[in-house]
Amino acid sequence: MSDKAAAAAIPNNLEAFWMPFTANRQFKKAPRMFVGAKDMHYTTAEGRQVLDGTAGLWCCNAGHGRPRIVEAVQKQIAELDYAPAFQMGHPKAFELAARLAAMLPSPLDHVFFTNSGSESVDTALKIALAYQRAIGQGTRTRLIGRERGYHGVGFGGISVGGIVANRRTFGTMLTGVDHIRHTHDPARNAFTRGEPEHGAEFADDLIKVIQLHDPSTIAAVIVEPVAGSTGVLIPPKGYLKRLREICDQHGILLIFDEVITGFGRLGTPFAADYFGVTPDLVTTAKGITSGVVPMGAVFCTKAIYDAFMTGPDHMIELFHGYTYSAHPLACAAALATLDTYEEEGLLTRAADLSRYWEDGLHALKDCPHVIDIRNLGLIGAVELEPIAGEPTKRAFSAFLKAYDDGLLIRTTGDIIALSPPLIISKAQIDELFGTLRAVLHAID
């Protein structure tokens, strides 16, 4: 595309769209726009190819523009564009739920559809509270999250979440929420390959909260099995098992927020499979449709579902749902996405590539500014030393330089996060780390 054509592709008014998680006033000075995407690459408005190092926003696990998914959505919109989700249904919603239920580790076997990760989180928190009531444990109203946790942007999600910037602006939060510590421990675990050795005992923070409030007041604990948006924090060996044990001992539900880890990111369908720890509720979104149509889903155990099927009459339904729950386009996209994952072995591909990925990532250790590197499956993080007095600046300049050099990365604070589509080839992994190496050498 010529410079003139590129300029024409960018609208004049960049003010009307108030962008999410973006400083509009900075963006409009140097807009970055994608106009196309295919497989592992985006095309910019200037006609440049950008290697997708982040699967969009951790979501396009099957890559971009996959014909099978495109065709399924096209066919669906022509056939049944919308169907009410309350007291009605359409066959693909039930087909998808059954297909997902069959993929889940037992005893997770029921599915509630939402439209995003944030909605999945708020739904899971509400199911947890309602379940406790349904089984006669209505005093259990407290929710427990973690420092640095990211659970989307609903009021439930920011309340149990622990990212300060996402909370401080808004004042009102849910009451009755406690936070246990995150597990990041660079003094003991820096540059660990895979799961860190040290820190399972961080789970015992939960015991302290239980002792403080009494178990009879606590409904659920929510954690990301691998914390993503806060900068990729891998759980120490044994940590999640320990959390599960403590929850079991005290009648507390365990929720895994698998919005990032679900659908193959770790080389297993879900993180619950990877860690061999099964929570009571799982929140997902993103990879369920490979990001093509917004969709989320909450998975719950038979015990939770049955509490509503056999519980008191006034709880015969959940009194919760969305106009677009199980939207036909999303269901069609999800079914075609699951076909693609299955046919191409994508849900386990991260396991085959993880060693190659890990070696390439950790080879960046000798680059300037690098103070830690973390990885699991096809997730990676490179943490940079912040510039004194200007936190986030160094990583953000890496993001801008990488974009100019044809690589999409994501940054949070001074951490570079990587999570490519699961179709990435070894040559593209080399290219990704080669570009990143050059970027790290080029920035101040």
Cα–Cα dist 36/29, whole Å: 22
Q: Which is nearer to ligand PMP, 210 or 226 (CB)?
A: 226
CB of 267 to ligand PMP, least distance (A): 18
Cα–Cα dist 147/74, whole Å: 42
CB of 304 to ligand PMP, least distance (A): 20
- Interaction site with ligand PMP (CB under 6 A): 58, 116-118, 121, 150-152, 224, 228-229, 257, 259-260, 285
Measured in whole angstroms, the distance separating CA 224 from the mean position of its chain's CA atoms is: 8
Q: Which is nearer to ligand PMP, 126 or 437 (CB)?
A: 126
CB of 357 to ligand PMP, least distance (A): 20
Q: Which two tokens stand for residue 64?
A: 């971009």
Cα–Cα dist 403/45, whole Å: 13
Q: Which is nearer to ligand PMP, 239 or 308 (CB)?
A: 239
> Which among 411, 331, 423 is positioned nearest to 63, based on CA atoms?
423
CB of 114 to ligand PMP, least distance (A): 9
CB of 113 to ligand PMP, least distance (A): 13
CB of 342 to ligand PMP, least distance (A): 24
Q: Which is nearer to ligand PMP, 1 or 57 (CB)?
A: 57
Residue 296: partners with Cβ closer than 8 Å, 6 or more residues away: 113, 114, 115, 116, 117, 119, 120, 123, 259, 283, 284, 285, 288
> Which among 346, 330, 199 is positioned nearest to 269, based on CA atoms?
346
Q: Which is nearer to ligand PMP, 45 or 260 (CB)?
A: 260
Torsion angle of the four alpha carbons 370, 376, 378, 379, in this order, in degrees rounded to the nearest 10 = -50
Q: Element (H or E) spanning 49, and its range?
A: strand 49-52
CB of 61 to ligand PMP, least distance (A): 13
Q: How many CB atoms lie within 10 A of CB 239?
A: 24
> Which among 413, 419, 417, 418 is positioned nearest to 385, based on CA atoms?
413
Measured in whole angstroms, the distance separating CA 95 from the mean position of its chain's CA atoms is: 24
CB of 58 to ligand PMP, least distance (A): 6
Q: How many CB atoms lie within 10 A of CB 217?
A: 15
Q: Which is nearer to ligand PMP, 45 or 259 (CB)?
A: 259
Q: Which is nearer to ligand PMP, 205 or 224 (CB)?
A: 224
Q: In this chain, which residue has its C-beta nearest to ligand PMP? A: 117
Q: Which is nearer to ligand PMP, 156 or 199 (CB)?
A: 156
Question: By the 8 A CB rule, do 10 and 45 touch?
Answer: yes
